[in-house]
């Protein structure tokens, strides 16, 4: 019986050795090394897999020998670190998705201490292989430091060039936009699409408020104002006889808040004021844009905008 028992023990030992050899030949340990908190570390589940023990058992050994694993040897991932790891590596999602606690990370020193805690020949052999991998990676980084610096410098210059190019284009487009709008626009009979497009583009320039002074507003006017940006308030000053009902205003506010309407007879011409700074004089009601010949003019004098706003404040 003793001989049979020895035979099985030797067979089991050979099986373990063979399994370790297979792991050493097939595992790419480098892919299991992550950089967390500016340190190269390996996670408990990967180490448990290499050492052929359960992750729970490995961590139990560590807890029983807590004095051997200070923070610079082993630490537990935070929720942010854990989520970031899962988002970057598909294997992380597979290996750690069903865990009830966040993984523990082991530095090179912590991994070396693990071999002593696990206290088996296979653990010692695996620790040696892991240590050699850490050394290889350090040598690679050291030997290619200059190359990394050159690449980083090149990327930085490229980003700076892209930023300056974008800024130049923005200035060109802004110049074109400003100088295009400084001219008067005249639309003739039938140019409905062109007139509608310009008025819509003007309305969409507002970021806070649109003031429309137009004596003849109706639902078609509201359909044009609905093209505004979200969160932009609209104030309309119109004649008492305008074809705009309270229901029309309520319907508009339910979808494109917030619209307020005031009735006044003090204005004859039509104006659009954007964010209390930019104003356009419009020769026809915007609902009739393109139906007859009319013009749109950007008011150049800031004082004219101020005078318009002061006049509106007097409207009750």
- Look at residue 170 and give its three-state secondary structure: helix
Pick 98 or 276 by higher pLDDT: 276
Judgement on whether residues 226 and 292 belong to the same structural domain of the protein: yes
pLDDT at 190 over 80: no
- Residue recorded with tokens 């709008």: 181
At residue 40, the pLDDT reads 86
Judgement on whether residues 215 and 103 belong to the same structural domain of the protein: no
Q: What is the mean pLDDT of residues 67-80?
A: 91
On whether residue 162 sits in a domain, the answer given is: no
pLDDT at 199 over 80: yes
Helices 121-143 and 2-26 pack at an angle, to 10 degrees, of 10
Listed in sequence order, the residues at least 6 apart from 233 whose beta carbon sits closer than 8 Å to its beta carbon are 208, 209, 210, 257, 258, 259, 260
Q: To the nearest whole percent, how much of the chain has pLDDT over 70?
A: 68
- Residues 21, 18: Cα–Cα separation, whole Å: 5
On whether residue 270 sits in a domain, the answer given is: yes
Token pair of 202 as six digits? 């003007």
- Residues 92, 36: Cα–Cα separation, whole Å: 14
Q: Which of 256, 249, 243, 254 is nearest to 285 (CA)?
A: 243
Token pair of 309 as six digits? 């706003």
Q: Out of 142, 165, 194, pick the residue that ends a domain.
A: 142
Output the CA torsion sign for 23, 99, 75, 55: negative
On whether residue 105 sits in a domain, the answer given is: yes
Q: With beta carbons less than 8 A apart as the criterion, state whether 232 and 209 touch.
A: yes
- As for how many domains the chain has, the answer is 2
On whether residue 172 sits in a domain, the answer given is: no
**Terminal C-alpha separation, the chain:** 110
Judgement on whether residues 8 and 134 belong to the same structural domain of the protein: yes
Q: Residue 285 CA to chain centroid, in angstroms?
A: 42
Residue 255 DSSP code: H
Judgement on whether residues 229 and 289 belong to the same structural domain of the protein: yes
Q: What is the mean pLDDT of residues 111-128?
A: 79
Judgement on whether residues 87 and 203 belong to the same structural domain of the protein: no
CATH of the domain at 282: 3.30.870.10
- Residues 42, 55: Cα–Cα separation, whole Å: 13
pLDDT band of 91, cuts 50, 70, 90: very low
Mean pLDDT score across all residues of the chain: 76
- Residues 96, 86: Cα–Cα separation, whole Å: 8
On whether residue 167 sits in a domain, the answer given is: no
Token pair of 297 as six digits? 């003019």
User: What is the enclosing helix (H) or strand (E) of 148?
Assistant: helix 145-181
Q: Indicate the pTM of the whole model.
A: 0.43
Judgement on whether residues 195 and 136 belong to the same structural domain of the protein: no
pLDDT band of 22, cuts 50, 70, 90: very low
On whether residue 201 sits in a domain, the answer given is: yes
Domain interval for residue 302: 179-313
Q: With beta carbons less than 8 A apart as the criterion, state whether 125 and 23 touch.
A: no
Judgement on whether residues 308 and 198 belong to the same structural domain of the protein: yes
Least confident stretch, 130-134, 138-142, 251-255: 138-142
Judgement on whether residues 137 and 187 belong to the same structural domain of the protein: no
Judgement on whether residues 105 and 210 belong to the same structural domain of the protein: no
Render pLDDT for 249-262 as a digit per residue (tens, 0 to 9).
Answer: 999 999 999 999 99
Q: Out of 142, 166, 190, pick the residue that ends a domain.
A: 142
- Residues 209, 106: Cα–Cα separation, whole Å: 57
Q: How many CB atoms lie within 10 A of CB 20?
A: 20
On whether residue 163 sits in a domain, the answer given is: no
pLDDT at 182 over 50: no
- Residues 85, 93: Cα–Cα separation, whole Å: 8
Judgement on whether residues 119 and 189 belong to the same structural domain of the protein: no
Q: What is the mean pLDDT of residues 160-172?
A: 58
At residue 272, the pLDDT reads 93
At residue 119, the pLDDT reads 72
On whether residue 154 sits in a domain, the answer given is: no
Highest mean pLDDT among 2-16, 200-214, 273-287: 200-214
pLDDT band of 77, cuts 50, 70, 90: very high
Judgement on whether residues 64 and 120 belong to the same structural domain of the protein: yes
Q: What is the mean pLDDT of residues 173-177?
A: 53
Judgement on whether residues 21 and 134 belong to the same structural domain of the protein: yes
Token pair of 126 as six digits? 């695996």
pLDDT at 51 over 50: yes
Q: Out of 142, 171, 198, pick the residue that ends a domain.
A: 142
pLDDT at 21 over 60: no
């Amino acid at each position: 019986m003793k001989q049979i028992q020895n035979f099985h023990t030797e067979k089991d030992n050979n099986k373990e050795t063979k399994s370790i050899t297979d792991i050493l030949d097939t595992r790419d340990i480098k892919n299991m090394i992550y950089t967390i908190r500016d340190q190269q570390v390996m996670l408990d589940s990967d180490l448990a897999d290499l050492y052929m023990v359960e992750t729970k058992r490995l961590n139990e050994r560590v807890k029983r020998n807590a004095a051997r694993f200070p923070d610079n040897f082993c630490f537990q991932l935070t929720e942010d670190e854990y989520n970031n790891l899962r988002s970057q590596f598909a294997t992380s999602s597979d290996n750690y998705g069903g865990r009830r606690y966040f993984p523990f990370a082991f530095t090179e020193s912590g991994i070396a201490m693990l071999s002593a805690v696990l206290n088996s020949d296979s653990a010692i052999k695996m620790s040696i292989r892991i240590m050699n991998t850490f050394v290889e990676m350090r040598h690679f980084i050291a030997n290619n430091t200059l190359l990394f610096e050159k690449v980083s410098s090149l990327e930085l210059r490229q980003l700076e060039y892209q930023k300056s190019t974008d800024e130049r284009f923005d200035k060109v487009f802004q110049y074109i936009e400003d100088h295009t709008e400084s001219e008067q626009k005249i639309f003739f009979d039938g140019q409905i699409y062109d007139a509608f497009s310009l008025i819509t583009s003007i309305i969409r320039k507002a970021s806070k408020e649109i003031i429309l002074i137009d004596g003849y507003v109706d639902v078609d006017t509201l359909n044009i104002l609905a093209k505004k940006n979200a969160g932009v308030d609209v104030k309309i000053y119109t004649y008492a006889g305008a074809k705009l009902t309270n229901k029309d205003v309520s319907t508009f506010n339910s979808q494109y808040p917030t619209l307020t309407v005031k009735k006044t007879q003090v204005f004859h011409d039509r104006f659009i004021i954007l964010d209390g700074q930019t104003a356009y004089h419009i020769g026809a009601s915007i609902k009739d844009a393109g139906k007859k010949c009319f013009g749109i003019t950007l008011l150049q004098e800031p004082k004219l905008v101020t005078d318009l706003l002061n006049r509106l404040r007097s409207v009750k």
